[in-house]
Structure 1
């Protein structure tokens, strides 16, 4: 193909007659992405009458100023042209990773834009390539109505005939209503692209950039390339003297492993939506404005983009910093408003409201391109205000709303919040406990008196002391529950996300240590359910997980070891929950004896299970012993002459504990220093898909610290890599604080 003139990028800005631009914008406001007049079709392609290209998407950037096409390659991801998002595509295809600069909407599976078939999603994250006109685009929610197209494994060859599809212009239409397709013949392939010539007069036009170029093998489509540039012969708005139908496509056949690595990765915390991982660290005992233990949260933005301090004295954070608020005691993170920026969920259970001491509140602090606090207004949740069950309740002393929070997304991608209120009274029953469940329009409360929930409210149960959730299930702990006459034996309840006619998530089971499926038995002071952690469990992949693994901690559990009772040594049980809600024991974790295969030995006061973190490092694949990990905090562990030094032990959730355990303490696994008295290591631990965070708020630093261990450091036999340490006075963090590292997300 001649190099002069250069083919134009088919995703260029749509700039033309004001009437056409107005028509497109007006149609967008009514939910249609094309003009409403009936289209005519010409040599640039024919309408797709077979519905065989439903994986094709129309992309509209900004206020309908730029339109492109794309292709669904995963339920959460599109492939499209980077030029669709570049500031000046004729000069550079450089696109920053993260949230698109302008609001961008994708319509997937709607081959006729005049219908309501398929799905409409926002594009909330871009992962661009630097070597070709290509970007992965993450959707705000999964698309389950349309089957993604697989990537081809073989390069296009000279002379090969392929078909392309797109929503771009035709000869006579500025914005056609129907997806159109055409055939092309490959010219000369290169490492990242290939030239082509349209067959029978077909050509890619403005708006076709990012559309699929497809090979058919045994009746099935494979994605070979994407539309990128074209001479646009006979396209609407192009001079009639231009008759060439050739152009350039971007190859994708060599990118299967790159695409796979991105689409199966666990989500990261990204408060400023730039594609780099951030971390929020709670210091609830910090002094703010002279108010002792008012509390502060410090944010460290990834890629060296600075730090931020969040307190209740900021204008955009509800309330005021007050002594003993302990702001930052409880935190979690999720993209609650589905805009591509992670939001920080903060439980402040020690917040006083008027005369109600320790009534508690929960705030959702929204992430934004400029960082937390620069975008949407904070969502403030306080009993007696707002809407739904939260508004119907009343704040009372000792409620401790937000004592535990779990934030995440259902398997359908919908954000949810599960909030524990363990001090809530039930009539005359003090501290029976309650939880709030918020998802979409659902704003409901659940107690042990709710329909079909096993048991009943009792004084002092503390239902909601602990909570956990994943895409399929919810769990609520009441470690103070009396079971079989044993005070403080503890219980756990499981639920499904589906909300029934009674307005609450579906109750599934009540679990105690007396349950037939579990080993052991309920005893006074076990505190079964004091800590909970949950992760998606996939039995056959790739698929959407419908099962869960729930880890239940009993830090007060007394065990007989070598015929000697070890009080409050602690134990953790891992439970598998099926799609129907049945459960069975997967594993029991405890330190055992000096002679068994598990590191350490059960000793009085170890409190094994004081905290638990679990992770599925490959949630889109079949779960294995290598991908399912658990970290257990042993905050009361004595090490040498240092009482209550604390430690962390990691295991495979699915393998034999003695074959996979790793002992982690200062001086090991890359954590600097040595064990010290009353350090209580293991009191704060948190897994991500790539790291284990270990908080050390009790020293040796007078401020506290947090250590980010690469996953290899947290696996038995793994390579010990460099640990990242966050500590006041370093890395841009001010040299102040008291309990830094108490919480982290």
Structure 2
């Protein structure tokens, strides 16, 4: 693997790079998003177009603590680059919070939050972007570190983000997807992130199969080949076309797989062990399906069917990588057992999320269908939930939910886009710590683009609307103005 080491400016006087002081190491690292270490995952919602310190689109993050009853909205807090102890300053157009991911980087029992501000400028270079680590603690986010080695190219912006142990040393690493003319591709900061020490280098993976001039990039991480190291799948699009790349985790870091079916661009990715065989599987959402980037089918022996409303393609993991020993499986709204029917503009698969909803040890898949018409309401949107089984994702027990489903607050309106019409408005995470993932879903077009977020509990039989909750930026009392925020568009990395 050939890498280019990005220039670092690590000096003893660089306050922005100062890491937290040494703290006692907990018996075990916290799970992702448990920022205060109480055992309950918290909910972090980026509001990149929000006003902070009077600066439009400077951005901030709403943090809602978890509890046995789900998110405690009454205890929500916000954090921005103007928060005491957080490096940087809020500036117009920074869009702090546009991408988020989490992991206990320093293994002290408090999950940390990694935040992208794609509009951050570096001297005269516009929109180079910045990544900041917010260090978790019992008292919230009071300290932060700017990740050194940011790519110094105009328009880089950091469009993808993930935490993953790519070298298998037991420490989390940070993987970023970079957009821009010369910097398109992946960068990796290898752990450990020990208190008092910054990462040694942020390197760019140059042999990643991703071309220059990338404008959009998505990442998904999981151990697809079952070797104990995390692999990374990448969906990208740009001036040189689009595709999907697969990079294996190795002791030396990420290495491009020798072959990958990448002729068709996926709008979304999700990784989960749908068949429970111990290897992660990959789901690719082809919501804008119909426009191949080449005339060749994605997998020559298994061409994609023509579906105007979108397709989810599932590639099952193996020791050789995804789809090496088993043909991909395509699911759409014309598949028997999947709710709805295939219609142009449905955008089935525009957003995806994978986790174990039922507690049976196998991952389930939530599929955003933000362009779904509900009754006569155009683009009201819906979410379809498909359950895992010993043979993989199954349509048995599948269910669609939307704003007109009994128990879901509100009612669908034209253009609401329930299921995440922009950004990444879909999440599966165990918010109440009952051993089952819960569904968090956004309708970013709700209330003329202000946005709203719902949470629905997972049960042994799937998703339930009983006890569902909904909240908006205005309802949470977030800094205004709240109009046009597309609240909930950054639920996942």
TM-score by length of 2: 0.76
- Equivalent position of 2:380 in the other structure: 645
8 Å Cα contact 1:284/1:327 also seen in 2: yes
Shift of residue 586, structure 1, vs aligned partner: 5.2
Q: Which residue of 2 aligns with 1:662?
A: 399
2:80 counterpart residue number: 311
**What is the DSSP-based 3-state SS (H/G/I as helix, E as strand, rest coil) of the residue aligned with 2:442?**
strand
2:272: which partner in 1?
Answer: 535
CA displacement at 1:710 relative to structure 2? 0.4
- Are 1:724 and 2:469 counterparts? yes
| 1:480 correspondence with 2:237 | yes
| Aligned: 1:275 with 2:39 | yes
Alignment partner of 2:146 out of 380, 384, 404:
380
Partner of 1:468: 220
Count residues in correspondence. Answer: 426
Structure 1 contact 575–585 (Cα < 8 Å) conserved: yes
Whole-angstrom CA distance in 1 between matches of 2:338 and 2:80: 42
**Structure 1 counterpart of 2:260:** 511
Q: Distance in 1 between matches of 2:121 and 2:238?
A: 26
Aligned-partner SS, 1:612 = strand
When residues 488 and 659 of structure 1 are mapped into structure 2, their CA distance, relative to the original with a 3 A threshold, is: farther
Q: Deviations over 1:206-235 (max 9, x none)?
A: xxxxxxxxxxxxxxxxxxxxxxxxxxxxxx
Partner of 1:590: 332
The answer as to 2:447 corresponding to 1:700 is: yes
Specify the alignment match of 2:130 in structure 1. Answer: 361
Question: Equivalent residue of 1:532, what SS?
Answer: strand
Q: 1:318 to 1:509 in 2, by over 3 A?
A: farther
Evaluate the alpha carbon distance shift between residue 349 and residue 559 of structure 1 in structure 2; reply closer, same or farther with a 3 A threshold: closer
Indicate the SS of the match to 1:659: strand
SS of equivalent residue, structure 2 residue 123: coil
Is 1:491 aligned to 2:254, yes or no?
Answer: no
* 1:641 CA displacement: 3.1
Determine if the alignment matches structure 1 residue 631 to structure 2 residue 366: yes
- Give how far 1:537 is off: 6.8
Structure 2 residue 326 is the aligned partner of structure 1 residue 557: no
Change (3 A) 1:537 1:506: farther
Deviations 1:355-402 (A, max 9, x none): 2222111111011011122xxx41212xxxx3xxx36xx42211112x
Task: Report which of the two structures shows the higher radius of gyration computed on alpha carbons.
Answer: 1
Q: Distance in 2 between matches of 1:731 and 1:326?
A: 20
Residue from 348, 360, 369 that aligns with 2:117: 348
Alignment partner of 1:332 is 2:108: no
Relative to structure 1, the CA distance from residue 671 to residue 494 in structure 2 (aligned partners, 3 Å threshold; closer, same or farther) is farther
Q: Aligned to 2:315, which of 552, 575, 578?
A: 575
Q: Equivalents in 1 of 2:464, 2:367: separation in Å?
A: 20
* Structure 1 runs not aligned, ≥5 long: 1-101, 105-121, 125-138, 142-266, 427-431, 514-521
Q: Which residue of 2 aligns with 1:123?
A: 26
Q: Alpha-carbon deviation of 1:444?
A: 4.8
Partner of 2:349: 609
Q: For the Cα contact (< 8 Å) 1:333–1:408, is it kept in 2? A: no
Per-residue deviation, 1:438: 2.8
Equivalent residue of 2:411, what SS?
coil
SS, match of residue 265 in structure 2: coil
CA contact (8 A) 1:531 1:554 kept: yes
Q: Describe the SS at the equivalent of 2:455.
A: strand
Is the Cα–Cα contact under 8 Å of residues 420 and 436 in structure 1 kept in the other structure? no
Q: 1:669 to 1:551 in 2, by over 3 A?
A: farther
Query: What secondary structure is seen at the aligned counterpart in 2 of 1:573?
Result: strand
Secondary structure of the equivalent of 2:447? coil
**Relative to structure 1, is the Cα distance of residues 309 and 604 closer, same or farther in structure 2, using a 3 angstrom cutoff?**
same
How far apart are residue 312 of structure 1 and its match? 1.6
CA contact 1:284–1:740 (8 Å) conserved in 2: no
- Once the two structures are TM-superposed, the CA of residue 506 in structure 1 deviates from its matched residue by 3.3
Tell me which residue corresponds to 2:490: 743
What are structure 2's unaligned runs of at least 5 residues?
A: 1-21, 193-198, 224-228, 293-304, 431-436
Give the RMSD, CA atoms, in angstroms. 3.3
- TM-score, length of structure 1 as denominator length: 0.52
Residues 1:488 and 1:638: Cα distance change in structure 2 (over 3 Å): farther
Structure 2 CA distance for partners of 1:489 and 1:600, relative to 1, 3 Å: farther
Shift of 1:446: 4.3
How far 1:344 sits from its partner (Å)? Answer: 1.1
Structure 1: distance between partners of 2:144 and 2:47: 20
**Contact 1:271-1:343 at 8 Å conserved across structures:** yes
Residue 687 (str. 1) matches residue 423 (str. 2)? no
SS at match of 1:577: coil
Matched, 1:438 2:190: yes
Cα distance in 2, alignment partners of residues 702 and 479 from structure 1: 26
1:60-71 alignment, distance < 5 Å: none
Q: Does 1:600 align with 2:340?
A: yes
- State which drifts further: 698-707 or 292-301: 698-707
Superposition deviation, residue 559 in structure 1: 9.1
Q: Helix, strand or coil: the match of 1:370?
A: coil
Query: Which of 157, 174, 177 does residue 420 from structure 1 map onto?
Result: 177
Match of 2:458 in 1: 711
Q: Distance in 1 between matches of 2:438 and 2:393?
A: 22
In structure 2, relative to structure 1, the CA distance for the partners of 1:473 and 1:576 (3 Å cut) is farther
